[in-house]
Amino acid sequence: MPLYAVRMDVAIPDGLDPQLVADTIAREKAYSQEIQRGGEWPHIWRCVGEYSNISIFDVADNERLHEILWGLPLFKWMTCEVTALATHPSDINA
């Protein structure tokens, strides 16, 4: 299945109801962990010092990745940079 690296940068607007923000972050965690358990989101790494992560997705196609990203509860407050990955010719494990 195709692999993708996705960098997500979160920018929560100032002045929002703190409860709304907390609820959205909690829903984000539950949604993410459900997809991780299903195997389509094998890695999520925090970018040190930033409200950002770099994640690896292992999904059927572009449409499925799009569906997952659009379903993120924090999607409205984040920007995503998607990189499709291919095998490197120097990879000794390939």
Interface residue list for ligand LWBT4IAB (CB under 6 A): 8, 10, 28-29, 32, 53, 74
Nearer to ligand LWBT4IAB, 9 or 87 (CB): 9
DSSP string, 15-74: T--HHHHHHHHHHHHHHHHHHHHTTS--EEEEPTTSSEEEEEEE-SSHHHHHHHHHH-TT
Nearer to ligand LWBT4IAB, 30 or 84 (CB): 30
Smallest distance from the beta carbon of 72 to ligand LWBT4IAB, in angstroms? 6
